[in-house]
Each structure stands twice: as C-alpha cells, then as structure tokens.
Amino acid sequence: MTLIRTGRGPNPLKGWQVDPAAIRHVGRDLQRPECILAERDGSLWSADARGGVMHIAPDGAQTLITQTVDGHFDLAGDAAASLLTGTLPNGLAFARDGDIIISNFGTDRLEIMDRRGETRVLADNIDGRPLGKVNFVLRDSRDRLWITVSTMINPWSDAVTPNIADGSIYLLDARGLRMVADGFMFTNEIRFDAEEEWLYVAETTGKRVSRLRVQHDGSLTDREVYGPSSLGTGTIDGIAFDAYGNLWATMIMADRLVAITPDGELLELLDDGDRQATARFEAEFASGKPVSFETMMACGGDVARWMASVTFAGPDLRTACLGSLRGTSIACFDSPVAGLPMVHW
C-alpha cells in the first residue's frame, strides 16, 4: 500500500472521539436517510424511501421532492419489504446544474431528478442485461459519473456473506456506460482523494477499503487494499475524506464510526452498536452463509441505527452528519477537522 503523506503536523483525529452527549439531530420523520448531500448555504439533501429526496433548509423546514410518493416504507410493519423491495433511493450526487443523481437500490437503476421532482432514467441495463443493485454514484471534476453495483443477487440481504464477490464499478461519460472494475465484495460507497488520482472503494462484506489508480481515459489500475485488511466488527458502508487525509468510514450493523489515517492506522471514533447483537451477526457472517435478516434487524444503536454514511456539512465543512437505513433523523456533531470539499462545493 502506498501511503498518503500530508506533512501538516499532528493528526487532529489522534486521541479524539465523538462525545455522545454532543450529538444533535437534524430532520424529523425521515425515511431511510441513507445518503446525505450538503450545500454551502447549510441545506441538507437526504435520500428518502418515498422515492426521492428530503430537502432540509438551514432553518429546519423540510420539503419532500419526488415525482410520485411511494408509501411502501414501514419499519413498524413489514420491515423486510421496506428495506429489500420497492423504490430505495440510496447514493446521491449533484449534477453540475444542481439536479440530483440518484442510485436507486430498489429499482436497480440510475436516475436523475430536478428540484421539482421530474425524474428520468439515466441507466438501467448494460448491453441489454440488468445492472444489478445500483448502490452509489459519484461525479468527478470532468463531469463523469462513477457508479457502484453491489451485487447481482436480489434480495441484497442474501449477499451479506464473505463468499460472494460480484460487485462492480461502472463509468458513465461521453463514451457511454461501461464497466471499469469488478470482483468486489459488495461494492458500496466510493470516493476520490483531493487530486482524483485514486478511487477508494468500500467493500462491505470484505470489511475493507480498496483503491485503484484512475487513468485519464477512465480505466482503473494498480488495485490494492488501503489500510487494514479488516476494519473489525460490522461491515463497511459509507466513506468520506477529511482535509487532513483521514478516510472516515461507517461500519453498519456494529454502528461504529472509524477512520483510516494517512499512515494506515485505524482509529475508533464512535461505537454505538448493541454488542450482543453484533456478536451474533459476526458469528453468522463468519460461518460463510448469508446472515439472516432477523439477525441483521437486531443490530444497531440509538445514534444512527444501521449507520450507513458520513457527510461533512456546514459552511466550514466541520459538521459531520451520519446517514442511516433505519433512522428518522440525521445525527450531527462537530468535527475537529474539516471535510474534503466535494466536486459540487
């Protein structure tokens, strides 16, 4: 692994952890706020299981934006149907004009929606074949879209095992849609470093981050594991860089927040999981068989249940926001270091 060298003095995350008492919550009655986008004015945009996004204004006012409201999401009723089927907006990205690009984990397609709710499909197949479980989308400075497909298995819960590596990465640019890498263990969020030299990949059921060098034509080379080969309990979901070069990561099911330093060290920032439920999850996962949905449903803590993503927000990018699959609000806290600005910033 080639390490990042910052040369910026002491790492602000060394010796620091999230103070649970300092966590505040933004938003109310949200449905599956898995991914969050932030804007300079303080707005937050949260993925919403009703089929679009929730805009949370700086004053707290909420506006649901969707073409058609889908009412299937009801964790108090049929949790499996809510989390495994129907429209499930997941990863989000802003297009250059401010439209919202949505990777829909339920409909298995990449969509784009304007801020009035008008939606169209950008991609739902490759050479006539279904794309699979479209998880995340990332726009780069050249306006190219990088898309992750976690698995070809439906329901996705059957792929929560260390024995399946059918995840892939697609690139959508002026040449069209094409696969640029595959063989990942449940491909989840992806991020670029500050120079867009490397693409970092959260491999959920691999419990690790991999990275690939980005070539000018969009091809990916020099694949390697970044940081520890295992990040510990839980499975990695969301990742985000801070300005120092630390890569923050959420460990869903264990509801842990960790960070990989530029030197490859793993730091524990928050542990909010249910230890007994996490232990059951880890035992089933280690068996090699798919973890049962019932075991997964028992997992999670109180801060951001099924912690799925981390986003830096606020005018100075020093507010860390946690997305989740089973929360109804967004947990936020002050970070000792600013986030790395995203391309839309």
pLDDT by residue (tens digit) across 147-165? Answer: 999 999 999 999 999 999 9
Token pair belonging to 104: 């829909």
DSSP string of 219-241?
Answer: -EEEEEEES-S---SSEEEEEEE
Euclidean distance between CA atoms 56 and 63, whole angstroms:
7
Q: What is d(CA 127, CA 125) in angstroms, rounded to the nearest whole number? A: 6
Q: Residue for token digits 């990949």?
A: 201
Residue 85 pLDDT > 90: no
pLDDT for 255:
98
- Residue 230 predicted with pLDDT over 80: yes
Decide if 135 contacts 148 (C-beta within 8 A). yes
Gap between the Cα atoms of 333 and 269, Å rounded: 12
> Residues 6 or more apart from 24 whose CB is under 8 A from it?
331, 332, 333
pLDDT band at 82 (very low <50, low <70, confident <90, very high): confident
Closest CA to 299 of 289, 284, 321: 284
Q: What is the number of other CB atoms lying within 10 angstroms of the CB of residue 142?
A: 11
| Residue range 249-295, pLDDT digits in tens | 999 999 999 999 999 999 999 999 999 999 999 999 999 999 999 99
Percent of all residues in the chain with a pLDDT value above 90, rounded to a whole number: 92
Ordered DSSP codes for 107-142? TTEEEEE-TT--EEEEESEETTEE---EEEEEE-TT
Residue 56: which of 40, 45, 70, 69 has the closest Cα? 45
**Residue range 307-315: average pLDDT?**
98
Helix (H) or strand (E) run with residue 211 in it = strand 208-214
Decide: 289 and 161 in contact? Cβ < 8 Å.
Answer: yes
Domain boundaries, the chain: 20-334
* Contact present, 73 and 31 (Cβ < 8 Å): yes
pLDDT at 172 over 80: yes
**pLDDT above 80: residue 245:** yes
Q: What angle do CA 306, 308, 312 make, to 5 degrees?
A: 135
Question: Looking at the DSSP assignment, which residues form a beta bridge with residue 331?
Answer: 25, 322
Q: Given the DSSP bridges, would you call strands 62-65 and 52-56 parallel, antiparallel or unpaired?
A: antiparallel
| Residues paired with residue 47 on neighbouring β-strands, in sequence order | 53
How far is Cα 151 from Cα 162, in angstroms, rounded to an integer? Answer: 12
Predicted confidence at residue 4, as pLDDT, reads 45
- Give pLDDT, residue 76: 87
Which H/E stretch holds residue 279? helix 275-286
> 20-334 in CATH: which number?
2.120.10.30
- pLDDT, tens digit, for every residue of 130-147? 999 999 999 999 999 999
Q: Which of 278, 269, 201, 264 is nearest to 237 (CA)?
A: 201
pLDDT at residue 80, as a whole number: 86
Residue 1 is predicted with a pLDDT of: 42
Half-sphere exposure of 235 (CA within 13 A, CB side): 24
pTM of the predicted protein model = 0.96
pLDDT digits (tens, 9 = 90+) for 178-225: 999 999 999 999 999 999 999 999 999 999 999 999 999 999 999 999
**Other residues' Cβ atoms within 10 Å of the Cβ of residue 146:** 25
Q: Give the pLDDT confidence score for residue 267 in this predicted structure.
A: 98
Tell me what the mean pLDDT of segment 304-321 comes to: 98
Residue type, 324: S
Residue 42 confidence (pLDDT) above 80: yes
pLDDT of residue 121 exceeding 70, the answer is: yes
pLDDT band at 3 (very low <50, low <70, confident <90, very high): very low
- β-pair type (247-252, 134-139): unpaired
What is the pLDDT of the chain when averaged over all its residues?
96
